[in-house]
Amino acid sequence: MPVTAEMLRRSLVAWAFLLPALVLISLSVLVPALMALLMSFTASGLDVSEPLRFIGLANLQRLLLDPMVRRVLFTTFLYLFGVVPPIVLGSLALAVLVNRGLPGSHLMRGAFYTPVLVSIVVAAIAFRWLYAENGLINGWLIALLGPSFTPIGFLTSPQLALPAVMVVTLWKGLGYYMVIFLAGLQGIPKELYEAAELDGSEGWRQHVDITLPLLRPYVSLVAVVSSIAATKVFEEVFLM
């Protein structure tokens, strides 16, 4: 298709609006990232007057050989794989449940989304109180199992501390990602389900044949966004 003067004018106008944002992004993100990449190949101290000395991949080698770094990376990926799949599956299940239009579905939608509105600081402190040895969870267990029950140190046990923090992330995130899936579900034409019923497909078979294929872009979006959020987690771990 030939480029007309009107198309060229619209393109120039669009680039004129985009240019300030591109300049700001370049100055605040791309340039520092490039400088950090270049400095990673040098030996530089805090004294800016000292000349930079090129050392190649020595910094990367030292980083990879550091046992603490390997432990941190292992914990990060363990947290990632412990949080992202439950978030994707759980938020999708909640969205399907709310989208059915059952009585009280609007109330359920608000209840599931409410944790998103809670500050992460408040959530972390509340869960820290719940997990405490004299907290609510151990109190319930003692009332259920008797005074001989030994309180569980959820946040002091090396085996339970990470799963305990994962629960907070799941509690905070499920409602947010549920809304994303809900938007995708409400965009699926009802005629597709009606046609599937005429073909004899019903129940979970409709979700397999229609819902999941059409929600694939939303699944990818939720997986990517939740993965980025999981690798950047800090407040929950620091406060708990």
In sequence order, which ranges of 56-66 are alpha helices (DSSP H)? 58-65
Closest of 75, 86, 222, 47 to residue 167, by C-alpha: 86
Residue 180's pLDDT is what? 92
pLDDT in tens, 92-147: 999 888 888 777 778 888 888 899 898 889 999 999 999 988 888 888 888 888 88
Cβ count near 179 (within 10 Å): 16
Residue 1's pLDDT is what? 54
Q: Give the β-pairing of 42-43 and 53-54.
A: antiparallel
pTM reported for the whole predicted model: 0.75
Distances (CA, A) of 131 to 125, 156, 162: 10, 10, 12
pLDDT in tens, 47-89: 666 777 788 888 888 888 888 888 988 999 999 999 999 999 9
Structure tokens at 182: 């809900």
CB 116 within 8 A of CB 178: no
Task: Name the percent of the chain lying above pLDDT 90.
Answer: 23
The arrangement of secondary structure in 67-239, i.e. its CATH architecture, is Orthogonal Bundle (1.10)
In the chain, where the domains are located:
1-65, 67-239
User: Residue 200: exposed, middle, or buried by beta-carbon count in 10 A (0-12, 13-18, 19+)?
Assistant: exposed
On the question of pLDDT at 46 being above 70, the answer is no
Mean pLDDT across the chain, nearest whole number?
85
Residue 210: which pLDDT band, with cuts at 50, 70 and 90? confident
pLDDT in tens, 159-187: 899 999 999 999 999 999 999 999 888 88
Residue 2's pLDDT is what? 61
Distances (CA, A) of 96 to 122, 128, 172, 178, 212: 29, 31, 19, 9, 11
Residue 226's pLDDT is what? 93
Residue 54: strand pairing partners: 42
